């Protein structure tokens, strides 16, 4: 049965109009936001700022409390107030002359029903403009017990006010006139209006000087979490007698407040959970100034939230009494925090919003500490109204903060308690319980020994630490051969000498050929001095010979340094100077005074036994970006490669039947992984030719055509493949090296093994693998907006540690440290930097490795929790999730870049005063932008970009250089990177687009660069384009109806130039009349071929074509010779001279020969001579045509075109040049 008697709806006269205090203004905003009437999105949620007073009793006629409550409202103006907006100006509190309490009664069968009714009453919103903001619900039970739930909005009352309110309520219920004057709330507001609250706020802000960032514990809210639909949840623990008594005793002994002790405890917990030494959180203060007479008996909102800063100090301070180890003790921290907080007691009226505005770093915190001191003793209340039989009093309160720690005092037989109130949509129940346990653990440690060092306090117990450090790093695996040559020999045995080891276009090497050629070169290198801990540099274009050379260095006992010939000469020279190689295997000129070898170099002693390297010997040297502007050479031993290969076998399913693509630049350490996956297992290495290393259909066709089973394609490539292409469903695809977007996973995970690979160069290429495979992986990434980087590789370890090298709990952000056999030896010739980044592993002994080292990655990660916030199992429980960088190193286009290296190059220019580089993500893709200020002159952005291009790899060249008069600074006088302006683009100029292709491509260029307009003659790269954006340009152009290639973008550079070579999608290029005769300069690859030692006259590629019966192949071949100009070329003085069409006759090229096909083929090649103009030779034997073409004018990609043209011409089709 339910009955309701509501207050009259008539509008009584106004008794008073009161201004709102700063805290009331803040609560009004939050209440309106929760109600959905702030204009944000119209969605209503639950207003957390209601407070419910619960009186439980067993006496007769509890309904008389209704009139008693009305009497309290009649006596207390502030309880009758409602909030109204003025027509002009800020909202005010309007107090009517009279108001009665909305009163409801209901029945409940048991305790559960009582609680349910109270909860429903709490969440029912107040109409803030309708007085009073108080209502009551009387709940009766069949056994005669009852509960009165009085719900009030915090705008009119705080927790302290409840004591006087209940006392006055019971006085009225017993017919007594309350003692003392009913001091109006206006008296406090008048006093507050006379205070300089701005100066108070400034003093708080001054105390926050040097605070660089906010202290945020909970995950950021999503859009769906903007208006919570439920009140916060809570978990609670009782402080047993010893702990509760010890807390009080400690406070008395140190002369501090209980609030100070709990502030230190919560500050330490926050520090451990955020990995910081300087944290800030909110705390509530009573806000009742003693200067206001009778303030303790006033009902109203006085409580205020102010920031508390806790700084943990590790070093000795001048004049401080620190322990003998120089670390601050708990007691000393208590004294310091007490002093700092006491200095601000006179300023407790400062508004939090004003404090945060003056501090200058936005919202300071998302956690709150509340120390309750409301004295509501049920036994005392029972004496006030014995007939009512009040035997229990409860208070239900909440805040909008994701986490609030509430300390509740002991009352009678009820012990003191700690309650953790949490928003379930931000902090799940399991996490809340673990958090509360950590608070209690630190509190016990503080109370037990206040003389212990603060550094020794931890939120984890021994079992949790053991799980995080040992159990999650149990990756022990037995690995066979532990050196690269031993693994290669085992792979050779598994594959067999006649199996294909390597493919590059149409080049093929069997395992036997690769072993024989690399062994021969290895012996030649040994004779030249190659050996243990010595370096052999290799600088060759992508080819089979490149891998022959790399393989040869390892059994010679040396470490290889693979040099990408496309790197700037200054960069290559710097690397060679630092590496000091013993020898150089080279195909082009490099200035270095060491013995030089061709790939086919022969030793004097072809039977020499090769040395057997030790697993800890260096296998390769690879250079990464350096913060000082000097690249760092990372020395990696064989043993790490052995574990990497073992992981590939186990995790990726690599086997002798596998065909592994090789896509990465040879100077990128991923190239070592690709090479080792095939050549240390017995599979086939499928090398992607240079001209196909772009995300287009030709790349996919190459991978599919060669049956690739495993491919490592970074997101910038795999994510930019044309939408119409498909990779085989059974392919294993490695992504990583940069952020993996959900759309990439959604496209490639279903039906495939998709692995997110993570690993810095300093840990043998890879350290962890995260499995994102299948539809389940795609759905998990889309749902959680995250992509796990997984678990450690075989025999590897991954620690997530705080700044004191302690493990952090699951879900907590920490820095990733890596250990195990995969660690590099360090940085070549840089013992200082090696000692800084490779530090002692404090957990090595737990794995039987005392004295082991670990690598500090600088990456911020967290372990995924076991369950999500809603209690469901996490898709990657306790696996690692990458969150960003802890230093100035960034990941850009799959490369680790030390941002300090870029300004280091620019600052060397005299015209530059200061330089800084940032990665901007406010455009269609991440891009590197440099900012400079003037030095001895005015900086020229074009010249500075050219300087960078001459000294840095392409991925480190800033797309823009912006000149500023001065850098914007933070309040702490640091460069404010968030306020660095986006590069301004010059207005488009020049002629307007003319053709359909120009119009479309000009629009597409503007779109991918994020510009409103570009000119048809504007240089794509000068406008900020780069190789990654060019990939997007190819894709967008295709959607606009035009086919272009990345190579054409680099060559044409402008929309006009691209329009001249673009082909309509689905169409064929319209041949423009081009005269291909005359002198043609050699390309880099042609110059490299000519630089090879030995004769090149017959260096060729050939095919055997079927000749239909009765067909003469010579007319078709003549058409091909006339169409493809370079087939007629002659090598003259370092260039190619191309004669006119018809100058080379098929009759002179083709010879009819009978005999063994192999013998005929070999004889055909002998007729080639580029210096005599014989680039093509053909032999017609029976129904076969052996066609040989010199390598100067053909490669693996050209053959499908040539063979297709021969067939087309034989059928009478006209060929297009």
pLDDT in tens, 156-206: 999 889 989 999 999 999 889 888 888 999 999 999 989 999 999 999 999
CB 504 within 8 A of CB 494: no
Give the pLDDT mean for 744-773: 94
pLDDT at site 891: 58
Domain 197-374+398-466 top-level CATH class:
alpha beta
pLDDT at site 1019: 75
Give the pLDDT mean for 1102-1120: 87
Q: What is the DSSP string of 137-199?
A: EEEE-TTS-EEEEEEEETTT--GGGHHHHHHHHHHHHTTPPPSS----HHHHHHHHHTS-HHH
1110 vs 347: which has the higher pLDDT: 347
pLDDT at site 224: 44
CATH domain 996-1064 topology:
1.10.1200
pLDDT at 6 over 60: no
Helices (H), 239-318: 241-254, 258-274
* Rounded (10°) CA dihedral 630, 632, 633, 635: 160
Q: How far apart are CA 97 and CA 113, in angstroms?
A: 37
CATH domain 2-191 topology:
Chloramphenicol Acetyltransferase (3.30.559)
Model pTM score: 0.68
Whole-number mean pLDDT of the chain? Answer: 86
pLDDT at 52 over 60: yes
Rg of the chain over Cα atoms, rounded to whole angstroms, equals 39
- Strands in 813-885 per DSSP E: 814-820, 826-827, 838-840, 853-863, 880-885
Q: How far apart are CA 1177 and CA 1173, in angstroms?
A: 11
CB 894 within 8 A of CB 844: no
pLDDT at 874 over 90: no
Q: How far apart are CA 737 and CA 712, in angstroms?
A: 10
Q: How far apart are CA 645 and CA 683, in angstroms?
A: 12
174 Cβ contact partners less than 8 Å away, ≥ 6 residues apart? 384, 385, 387
pLDDT in tens, 635-672: 999 999 999 999 999 999 999 999 999 999 899 899 99
1197 Cβ contact partners less than 8 Å away, ≥ 6 residues apart? 505, 689, 691, 692
pLDDT at 323 over 50: no
Domain 1078-1210 top-level CATH class:
alpha beta
The three-state secondary structure class of 12 is: coil
pLDDT at 1035 over 70: no
- When mean pLDDT is compared across 357-361, 611-615, 1024-1028, the lowest value belongs to 1024-1028
pLDDT at site 927: 76
Give the pLDDT mean for 419-443: 90
CB 700 within 8 A of CB 692: no
pLDDT at 89 over 80: no
Domain 910-975 top-level CATH class:
alpha beta
Residue 1189 pLDDT grade (very low, low, confident, very high; cuts 50, 70, 90): very high
pLDDT at site 223: 40
Residue 23 pLDDT grade (very low, low, confident, very high; cuts 50, 70, 90): confident
pLDDT at site 1093: 55
pLDDT at site 130: 93
Task: For helices 1027-1039 and 996-1009, give the axis angle rounded to 10 degrees.
Answer: 130
pLDDT at 118 over 70: yes
Residue 459 token pair: 């939120």
pLDDT at site 102: 96
pLDDT in tens, 1126-1179: 899 998 877 788 888 888 999 999 999 888 777 888 889 889 999 889 999 999
Which backbone phi and psi does 1019 adopt, to 5 degrees? -75, 125
Candidate ranges 225-229, 396-400, 725-729, 1017-1021; pick with highest mean pLDDT = 725-729
Q: Where are the domains of the chain?
A: 2-191, 197-374+398-466, 910-975, 996-1064, 1078-1210
Q: What is the DSSP string of 1043-1061?
A: E--HHHHHHH-SHHHHHHH
Beta-strand relationship, 233-238 and 134-140:
unpaired
pLDDT at site 8: 33
pLDDT in tens, 232-266: 889 999 998 889 999 999 999 999 999 999 999 99
CB 489 within 8 A of CB 501: no
Are 910-975 and 1078-1210 in the same CATH fold? no
pLDDT in tens, 563-581: 988 787 888 888 999 999 9
């Amino acid at each position: 049965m339910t009955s309701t008697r509501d207050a009259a709806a008539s509008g009584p006269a106004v008794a008073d109009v009161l201004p709102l205090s700063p805290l009331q203004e803040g609560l009004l905003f939050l209440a309106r936001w929760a109600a959905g009437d702030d204009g944000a999105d119209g969605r209503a949620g639950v207003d957390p700022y209601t407070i419910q007073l619960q009186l439980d009793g067993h006496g007769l006629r509890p309904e008389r409390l209704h009139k008693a409550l009305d009497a309290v409202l009649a006596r207390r103006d502030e309880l009758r107030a409602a909030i109204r907006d003025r027509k002009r100006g800020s909202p005010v509190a309007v107090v009517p002359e009279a108001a009665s309490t909305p009163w409801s009664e209901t029945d409940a069968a048991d305790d559960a029903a009582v609680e349910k009714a109270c909860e429903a009453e709490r969440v029912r919103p107040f109409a803030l403009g309708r007085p009073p903001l108080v209502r009551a619900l009387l709940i009766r039970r069949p056994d005669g017990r009852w509960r009165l739930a009085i719900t009030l909005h915090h705008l009119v009352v705080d927790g302290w006010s409840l004591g006087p309110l209940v006392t006055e309520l019971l006085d009225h219920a017993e017919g007594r006139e309350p003692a003392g004057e009913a001091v109006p709330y206006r008296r406090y507001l008048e006093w507050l209006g006379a205070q300089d609250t701005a100066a108070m706020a400034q003093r708080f802000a001054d105390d926050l000087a040097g605070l660089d960032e906010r202290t945020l514990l909970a995950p950021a809210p999503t859009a769906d979490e903007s208006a919570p639909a439920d009140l916060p949840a809570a978990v609670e623990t009782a402080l047993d007698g010893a702990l509760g008594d010890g807390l009080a005793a400690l406070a008395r002994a140190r002369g501090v407040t209980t609030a100070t002790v709990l502030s230190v405890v919560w500050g330490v917990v926050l520090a451990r959970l955020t990995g910081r030494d300087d944290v800030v959180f909110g705390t509530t203060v009573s806000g009742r100034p003693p200067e206001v007479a009778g303030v303790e008996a006033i009902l109203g909102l006085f409580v205020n939230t102010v920031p508390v800063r806790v700084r943990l100090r590790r070093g000795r301070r001048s004049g401080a009494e620190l322990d003998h180890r120089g670390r601050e003790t708990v007691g000393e921290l208590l004294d310091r925090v007490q002093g700092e907080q006491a200095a601000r007691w006179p300023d407790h009226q400062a508004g939090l919003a004003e404090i945060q505005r003056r501090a200058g770093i936005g919202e300071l915190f998302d956690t709150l500490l509340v120390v309750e001191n409301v004295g509501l003793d049920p036994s005392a209340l029972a004496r006030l109204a014995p007939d009512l039989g009040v035997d229990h009093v409860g208070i239900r309160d909440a805040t909008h903060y994701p986490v609030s720690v509430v300390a509740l005092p002991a009352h009678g037989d009820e012990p003191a308690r700690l309650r953790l109130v949490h928003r379930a949509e931000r902090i799940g129940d399991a996490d809340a319980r673990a958090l509360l346990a950590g608070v209690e653990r630190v509190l016990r440690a503080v109370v037990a020994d206040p003389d212990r060092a603060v550094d020794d306090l931890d939120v984890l117990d021994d079992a949790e630490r053991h799980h995080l450090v040992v159990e999650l790093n149990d990756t022990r695996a037995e690995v066979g051969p532990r050196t690269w040559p031993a693994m290669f020999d085992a792979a050779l045995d598994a594959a067999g000498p006649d199996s294909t080891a390597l493919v590059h276009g149409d080049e093929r090497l069997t395992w036997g050929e690769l072993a024989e050629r690399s062994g021969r070169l290895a012996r030649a290198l040994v004779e030249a001095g190659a050996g243990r801990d010595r370096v052999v540099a290799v600088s060759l274009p992508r080819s089979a010979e490149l891998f022959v050379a790399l393989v040869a260095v390892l059994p010679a006992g040396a470490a290889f340094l693979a040099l990408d010939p496309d790197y700037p000469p200054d960069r290559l020279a710097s690397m060679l100077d630092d590496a000091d190689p013993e020898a150089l295997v080279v195909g082009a000129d490099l200035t270095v005074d060491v013995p030089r070898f061709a790939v086919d170099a022969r030793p004097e002693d072809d039977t020499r036994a090769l040395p057997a390297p030790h697993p800890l010997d260096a296998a390769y040297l690879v250079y990464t970006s350096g913060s000082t502007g000097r690249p760092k050479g990372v020395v990696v031993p064989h043993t790490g490669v052995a574990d990497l290969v073992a992981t590939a076998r186990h995790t990726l399913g690599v086997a002798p039947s596998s065909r592994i693509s090789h896509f990465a630049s040879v100077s990128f350490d991923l190239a070592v992984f690709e090479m080792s996956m095939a050549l240390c297992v017995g599979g086939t290495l499928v090398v992607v030719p240079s001209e196909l290393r772009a995300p287009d259909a030709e790349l996919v066709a190459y991978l599919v055509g060669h049956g690739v089973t495993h491919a490592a394609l970074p997101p910038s490539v795999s994510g930019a493949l044309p939408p119409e292409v498909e990779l085989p469903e059974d392919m294993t695809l490695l992504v990583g090296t940069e952020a993996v977007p959900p759309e990439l996973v959604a496209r490639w995970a279903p039906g495939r093994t998709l692995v997110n690979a993570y690993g810095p160069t300093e840990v043998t290429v890879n350290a962890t693998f995260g499995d994102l495979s299948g539809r389940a992986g795609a759905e998990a990434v889309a749902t959680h907006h995250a992509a796990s980087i997984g678990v450690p590789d075989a025999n590897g370890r991954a620690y997530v540690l705080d700044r004191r090298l302690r493990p952090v709990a699951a879900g907590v952000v920490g820095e990733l440290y890596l250990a195990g056999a995969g660690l590099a030896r360090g940085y070549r010739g840089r013992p200082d930097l090696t000692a800084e980044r490779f530090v002692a592993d404090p957990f090595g002994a737990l794995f039987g490795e005392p004295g082991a080292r670990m690598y500090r990655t600088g990456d911020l990660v967290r372990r995924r929790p076991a369950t999500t916030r809603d209690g469901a199992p996490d898709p990657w429980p306790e696996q690692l999730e990458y969150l960003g960088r802890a230093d100035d190193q960034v990941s850009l286009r799959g490369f680790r870049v030390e941002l300090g290296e870029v300004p280091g190059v620019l600052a060397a220019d005299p015209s530059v005063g200061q330089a800084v580089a940032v990665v901007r993500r406010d455009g269609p893709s991440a891009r590197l932008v440099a900012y400079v200020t003037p030095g001895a002159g005015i900086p020229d952005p074009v010249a500075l970009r050219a300087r960078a291009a001459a000294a840095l790899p392409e991925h480190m060249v800033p797309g823009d250089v912006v000149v500023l008069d001065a850098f914007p600074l933070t309040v702490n006088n640091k460069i404010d990177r968030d306020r660095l302006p986006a590069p301004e683009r010059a207005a488009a100029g020049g002629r307007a687009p003319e053709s359909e292709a120009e119009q479309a491509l000009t629009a597409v260029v503007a779109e991918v660069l994020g510009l409103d307009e570009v000119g048809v003659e504007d240089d794509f790269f000068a406008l900020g384009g780069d190789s990654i954006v060019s990939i997007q340009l190819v894709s967008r152009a295709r959607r606009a109806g035009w086919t272009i290639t990345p190579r054409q973008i680099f060559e044409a550079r402008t929309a006009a130039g691209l329009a001249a070579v673009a082909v309509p999608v689905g169409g064929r290029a319209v041949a423009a009349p081009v005269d291909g005769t005359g002198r043609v300069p050699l390309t880099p690859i042609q110059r490299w071929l000519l630089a090879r030692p030995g004769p090149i006259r017959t260096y060729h590629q050939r095919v055997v074509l079927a000749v239909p019966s009765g067909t003469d192949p010579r007319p078709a071949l003549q058409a091909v010779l006339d169409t493809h100009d370079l087939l007629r070329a002659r090598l003259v003085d370092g260039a190619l001279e191309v004669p006119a069409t018809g100058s080379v006759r098929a009759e002179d090229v083709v010879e009819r020969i009978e005999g063994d096909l192999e013998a005929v083929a070999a004889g055909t090649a002998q007729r080639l001579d580029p210096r005599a103009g014989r680039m093509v030779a053909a032999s017609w034997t029976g129904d076969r045509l052996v066609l040989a073409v010199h390598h100067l004018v053909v490669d693996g990609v050209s053959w499908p075109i040539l063979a297709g043209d021969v067939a087309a011409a034989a059928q009478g089709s006209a060929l297009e040049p």
